[in-house]
Structure 1
Amino acid sequence: MLKYKQQHSKKRIKNRTCTSDAQFQFYFWIQRKAYYNVMTRKKYMVLSMTGFATSTAEIALANNSKMILSLSIKSLNSRFFEMTCKLPSILSNLEIPIQRVLQKQLHRGHIFLHIKITNQEALQESVTPSIHTIQNYLDAIEIIQKKFDLHDKVTLSQILQLPNALQNEEVELNEEVEAAIVKAAYDLSVQLIQAQQKEGALLAHDIKQQLTSMQSKIEKIQTLSMQFIKEKKEALTHVMSLLLAFPAEQEQKSQEQCLLEAKKSTLLYEIEKIDINEETVRFNSHLINLASQFETTETAKGKKIDFIIQELNREINTIAAKCSQITISSLAIDIKSELEKAREQGQNII
């Protein structure tokens, strides 16, 4: 059964993406590597969208020389995956294959990839004179000499300096070489992920500290709210006892009775308005959900974090609007400030 699955997987990959044995071997390696990354993704709990990495690669060519590549990659914040490649003209056809491979690795962010061939001479297979071009130059020089009565001799070194006097024939990059270049870009993306992991760990640490602070403040708000409601209920009980002291059959209410009735209505409204138990329960639930995002093996979690922070902002705004008690209002403002910091840091997470 296992052998059948492997054969079926190889057949599917080869039919879909590969045109040679070299490409097949490379893309099958990529698939195994991607599976390995998924199984070990716990190491990459949180990845920052910003990072930088560099590397060099030596790739054997058909003329028995080695092409040396200098690679650099950096990523910046972006809502989606974007990629800007700066490649030598001889490698321009590899931009799309490289982009496909890196998109599977990096998920989000604006990626800038720069590949440079440091030993361009390794690509030169032969140098031949362009006889037709040189003859055109000599004919033009002869016309100029006759026209202006010039007798200067044209030297070989001067001819060789003329544009396109020599033709450089470059080594053709076969599929094995192209696959090795794509693999070098893939290896560089792994280094970028390691850099993103280090920065992501710092972001996660800061957000977790803000979660702890918000948890403490919302507990204080709950305690103060319950205490405030208790005080209002005691005041309401006192008002009710005073109202009950007036005769029930009294035809016209006294000024004092009217004032007590108004105070009763105010207290009932305040008790109903300040009941923020539902909002604090939801706020705590969102805090737990936000904390759990840092324990999942899912790679792309930045959008979820941003959405949860929006929900937390909605709940704390409701709490602040419902309760005008000074201490509670001050704590709500502190929580909003913590949420803004967490939102800014969360936007840096993939």
Structure 2
Amino acid sequence: MAFSAFSMTGYASHTFELPCREGLVSATIHVKVLNGRFFEPTFRLPHALAHLEPALVKMLREALVRGTVYCTIHIGTLFALTSRPMVSSVAIAGYIEALNEIKKHLPDSPGDLISAANLVGLPHVVEFVEDPVGHEINERILADFSTVVEMLQAERVREGAVLADDIGTRLDRLETAVEQIAERSREVFAAKRQRILENLQQLVAQAGCTEDANEVQLQHAFAQIEKLDVHEELVRLRTHIASARSILGLDSIEKGKRLDFTTQEMFRETNTIGAKCGDAELGGLVISAKVELEKIREQVQNLV
């Protein structure tokens, strides 16, 4: 049976071009998602794009539901996109005034102490002013970020399908182990029940107990027999296996937490059966079931 699920982990990257004054500038978006109980995004954005972070967070939250997310946007030549040079008339006037003052103390110096080329290299003569990113650039980045999210989701669906198929296979093996446990437990239970009753009959015959004492001994024997019965645990275990299959088949994205809880319940029932078994062969079957359960739990923790 094919199941659908989303892997919690994934990676997507997309490179595109943005228009700028000098033509086009290259930009790249990287998004990586790791396992996490909650939605925890971390962004590394150029300062000029910091205002886009709330919109990007919203897009990721709606798509990913949960996970530890690392997002980076890199723009090849950022100043070509957001910066432009500006000449400071105040700084130039200050330098010229200072040069004229220097000339007074150096009457024999050449007429021009500094050229325009040298003046440009002086501090604060030319400074780069950062302009706000235009609406067109904002819309383009948001659109390409949406493309990256779609790529990431496609990757998570592919990985999730592999995980879900593996979980389904493990559930099949677990179900087989449960039926083997049920068959062996019936044999063990019948043998131990017979042995307890035979021991009880021998004790009663040897001791010559009264009717009330016999009743007490009989109740004690039935209590021992009841402790060996694993029928209820097997019924609940089968129910949990069916529940896990049902969860995998749901249309909702978030399945990992529900499957994790169901797996814990299956472990609880299996451990109880193991504690009651008292039989080497049955103990081996219980261990086989727990091995499959452990593998199921590992895969479930990778699902959203």
Q: Give the TM-score normalised by the residue count of structure 1.
A: 0.72
Residue 85 of structure 1 aligns to a residue in which SS?
A: strand
Where structure 1 has 5 or more consecutive residues not aligned to the other structure, the ranges are: 1-42, 251-260
RMSD of aligned Cα (Å): 3.7
Residue type matched to 1:195 in 2?
E
1:287 Cα deviation after fit = 0.8
1:208 aligns with one of 160, 168, 180: 168
Asked if residue 316 in structure 1 is aligned to residue 270 in structure 2, the reply is: yes
1:243-282 matches, cutoff 5 A? 268-282=222-236
The verdict on how the C-alpha distance between 1:168 and 1:268 changes in structure 2, with shifts beyond 3 A counting, is: same
Residue in structure 1 matching 2:5, options 42, 46, 56 = 46
Q: Identify the residue that residue 255 of structure 2 maps to in structure 1.
A: 301
Describe the superposition over 1:153-211 as per-residue Cα deviations: whole angstroms up to 9, x where unpaired.
65555543445432334554333432332222121111111111222222222222221
Residues of 1 paired with 2:284 and 2:104: CA distance? Answer: 94
- The counterpart of 1:336, out of the listed 286, 290, 301, is 290
Q: Does 1:96 align with 2:50?
A: no
Q: Which amino acid aligns with 2:49?
A: L
The residue correspondences of 1:20-35 to structure 2 (distance < 5 A) are none
What pairs with 1:9-158 in structure 2 (closer than 5 Å)? 45-60=4-19, 65-120=23-78, 122-123=80-81, 126-135=84-93, 156-158=116-118
Q: Give me the whole-angstrom Cα distance separating, in 2, the residues matched to 1:344 and 1:177.
A: 43
Percent identity for Structure 1 against Structure 2:
31
- Superposed CA deviations along residues 73-129 of structure 1, whole A, max 9, x for unmatched, are 111111111111111111111111111121111111111111112243542574221
Sort the Cα spacing of 1:224 and 1:52 in 2 relative to 1 into closer, same or farther, 3 A: same
**What is the TM-score normalised by the length of structure 2?**
0.81
CA contact (8 A) 1:44 1:299 kept: no
Is 2:149 the counterpart of 1:189? yes
CA contact (8 A) 1:56 1:68 kept: yes
1:12-46 superposed Cα distances (whole Å, 9 cap, x missing partner): xxxxxxxxxxxxxxxxxxxxxxxxxxxxxxx9921
d(CA) in 2 for partners of 1:347 and 1:145?
A: 78
Q: Give a deviation string over 1:202-254, Cα, whole Å, max 9, x none.
A: 2222222221221111111100111112223444565577678779799xxxx
Q: Tell me how far apart the structure 2 counterparts of residues 344 and 279 of structure 1 sit (CA, whole Å).
A: 23
What is the number of equivalent residue pairs in this alignment?
Answer: 297
Work out the CA distance in 1 between the residues paired with 2:5 and 2:230: 33
> Quick one: distance in 2 between partners of 1:344 and 1:140?
74
